[in-house]
Structure 1
């Protein structure tokens, strides 16, 4: 039987092991994070519990990283108890005295180095493939070979990363209400983003799903985490899509409707359009033998005015196919 002193020593050793598992990549005391948008922060990264909202434009002390390079930062929130909360790095870039930010590139640039994750994902859909499986959608019923979405990539969404960074709504009850409606696909009951006429008209061309109220879903789930007004969010997304459709990528797509295109061809078109190495930012997605999406990973001032060539970042996920058909419209 152990003596009292032996039991105390065993307990202290066990406690030291537990503490060791809780200390995750402590950082220099001078490191801070200034939020680019309102962001949720959690006690638990995995369970997403203990949520508090960080206000846009506020500066918080960074006390730990989840790993190196980090995907989550633990910050001190003065109004929370306990103060430590984990926030995704996509909320803002941490800064530290004596560690200046890299200068912005002056022209088309290679994707950012692979040390970190992308902050945004621009998802571009090939609408005729989507409509093959969703013929009941309003936008699919009216699709013809003369439709804009039958010869160019369409906007699915511009999604702040990482995955799970959704529904940035400060009021917890309202957040749950919106999320429940969205999960049930009751988009007609979601709030209208309130877009100006000009932005709505541009979006209706770039995103055929507007006919099915897709913009309400995209704003509630993703746009609220972008840190800008609905007009600015959707206007920026349309700008990025338009740049890609006007490039060698768009030319490749338009010239091969109804044909099989390889992932290598699509990636090479990105290199031609935006500079060597740009292909690394691209992942092509297929369903069976048909191309469904082209995913473009971004980082940097995505909510600013930089052209897409300056924002490309190494893709977080790989392509799912080596080639696929660009389906023709059903009608």
Structure 2
């Protein structure tokens, strides 16, 4: 099943990437990937966490949170051309009450695998706030095809394998950074920010965010696709980072 999805995504993403031209309103893209077991350990009760298992994609792979246009000065465009009514619903937040936005049934199926948060209508929040400001801001299906392709590629790296192999154990920030550089090359960890959340006396790894060059997305996961001078900051401590099990 996952191999079929990957093949479908490869074709869809190549079509999307072939026409990609960097927009002038942002400097780089931030691929926000979630370690869903850690997210669910610190957000109990979320709809998507009910079906999380070791056999699901999100149970053993970094999954999709979002793909965000960002600027070097720390600002980012948001809600580009979005009606105020939808912005109000997003900020409430009542994401599932937001309007449908042209997502195809095929892409909705892909997102159910690669973005488990879509069960809580995360895709609506992400599209309206971030996707509308991307190069594919008028085509949600191309936007999500690109994002899904990136996170599927990330899931094939030794960085993902390292995280999955440490489920149920503690690691240090330096170990995670070293694992990233094993995958992406020397100095590449400057493109990575690691996010942790605390609960019950543990600091859980919840996200890995990677700064990407919009003009080189097709190279991912090669180091040439990374932006190493974005200066994005993480929140994980230097040691005792817990990698949760599904």
Is the shorter-chain TM-score for this pair beyond 0.5, marking a shared fold?
A: yes
1:225 aligns with 2:130: no
1:262 aligns with 2:172: yes
Alpha-carbon deviation of 1:280? Answer: 1.2
Task: Give runs of ≥4 in structure 1 deviating > 6 Å.
Answer: none
Alignment of 1:99-138 (within 5 A): 119-138=28-47
Larger Rg: 1
Q: Which residue of 1 aligns with 2:219?
A: 306
Alpha-carbon deviation of 1:237? Answer: 0.8
Alpha-carbon deviation of 1:191? Answer: 2.3
Q: Which residue of 1 aligns with 2:77?
A: 165
Q: Deviations over 1:290-318 (max 9, x none)?
A: 1111111112416x533232221124223
Alignment of 1:166-181 (within 5 A): 166-169=78-81, 175-181=83-89
Q: Deviations over 1:211-243 (max 9, x none)?
A: 111111110000000121111111111111111
| 1:306–1:188 Cα change, 3 Å | same
1:290 to 193, 197, 204: 204
- Partner SS, residue 220 of structure 1: helix
In 2: Cα distance, 1:124 partner to 1:36 partner: 22
In 2: Cα distance, 1:300 partner to 1:214 partner: 23
In 1: Cα distance, 2:171 partner to 2:114 partner: 22
Q: Is the 8 A contact 2:35 2:207 kept in 1?
A: yes
2:122 to 214, 231, 236: 214
Q: Is the 8 A contact 1:124 1:154 kept in 2?
A: yes
**Bigger relative contact order (CA 8 A; separation at least 6):** 2
Q: TM-score, normalised by structure 2?
A: 0.79
- Partner SS, residue 121 of structure 1: strand
- Partner SS, residue 66 of structure 2: strand
Alpha-carbon deviation of 1:192? Answer: 2.1
Alignment coverage as a number of residue pairs = 213
- Partner SS, residue 301 of structure 1: helix
Q: Is the 8 A contact 2:36 2:58 kept in 1?
A: yes
In 2: Cα distance, 1:184 partner to 1:265 partner: 38
Q: Which has the higher helix share?
A: 2
Gaps of 5+ in 1: 1-34, 40-87, 91-117
1:322 to 213, 238, 242: 238
In 2: Cα distance, 1:301 partner to 1:322 partner: 33
- Partner SS, residue 55 of structure 2: coil
RMSD between aligned alpha carbons? 2.0
In 2: Cα distance, 1:261 partner to 1:194 partner: 42
Alignment of 1:1-331 (within 5 A): 36-37=22-23, 88=25, 90=26, 119-162=28-71, 163-169=75-81, 175-228=83-136, 229-288=139-198, 289-301=203-215, 305-309=218-222, 310-314=224-228, 315-320=230-235, 321-323=237-239, 324-329=241-246
In 2: Cα distance, 1:193 partner to 1:230 partner: 8
Is the deviation greater in 200-209 or in 152-161? 200-209
Q: Is the 8 A contact 1:297 1:316 kept in 2?
A: no
Gaps of 5+ in 2: 1-20
